[in-house]
Amino acid sequence: MASNNIKAVKKEERIIGGRKVSVAVVMPRDTPAPIPSALAGLVKGMLLTLGYFVRPWKIVTRQYPENRKTLKFPQRYRSMLHLIFEEDGYHRCMACRICEKACPNRSIKILSQKNQISGKIELDRYIWRMDTCVFCNACVQSCPFDALEMGHEFENAVYDRRLLIFTLNRYAGPSVLRKVESMEARSKMMEPRDRYGGPVPLNGTSMPIVQPLMVKPAQKPGDIG
């Protein structure tokens, strides 16, 4: 739009590549603005900032630690990875390793074990590295069982780097999608898993100098530890 009463942009039609294209040409400024309109422009700029000065309700700052209770995140916000646990505490991961292959920088490592009783592959540890994860959502998108989601926790700073490598499953055992005869048989197949245990993967290899952080093993199944 015109500033300083000089038309800033002129519209015309040009033929480019055999096609008629509508073009907006920015008018050149060859001379400095005349003094009255220059002063008027300066004053208008000052009035604009004064307008924001006298309207304190236009302030957009949010004071962070004080507004934590009312913070709302969009549903799709991508932060900490979780396995989705159903109401009875079972996850849906079948240890198919599709997410491990989809992850661009190998931030997911799945340790699987063979179930003693049924002989089928099941999840032992689902290790996710938050320190290398880029939160690209490839794992969530690629899981055929919808077992993963990215949650909203964003205050994840720690003082020890080893605390950024998580075991996401709370128990090693069959997922809820695998049919088991009875509840007792199912709970016999489950072993609790703590959050920070397990070997520390680095692109598929273990780092010998960083010892895994061993927390006390959980007392009851389903206990996070």
Q: Name the residues that contact other proteins, by CB under 8 A.
A: 1, 3-4, 8-9, 11, 14, 16-17, 19, 21-30, 32-33, 38, 41-42, 44-46, 48-50, 52-53, 56, 58-61, 63, 74-78, 98, 102, 104, 134-138, 141-142, 144, 150
| Shortest reach from residue 177's CB to other proteins, in Å | 17
Q: 125 near 195, Cβ under 8 Å?
A: no
> Among residues 21 and 158, whose Cβ is nearest to other proteins?
21
Q: Which C-beta is closer to other proteins: that of 32 or that of 119?
A: 32
Q: Which is nearer to other proteins, 79 or 118 (CB)?
A: 79
What lies within 8 Å, CB to CB, of 189 at 6+ separation is 115, 116, 117, 118, 122, 173, 174, 180
> Smallest Cα–Cα separation from 200: which of 189, 220, 214?
214
Q: Are strands 81-83 and 19-26 parallel, antiparallel or unpaired?
A: unpaired
46 or 185: CB nearest other proteins: 46
d(CA 100, CA 107): 8
Q: How far is the CB of 194 from other proteins (least distance, A)?
A: 29
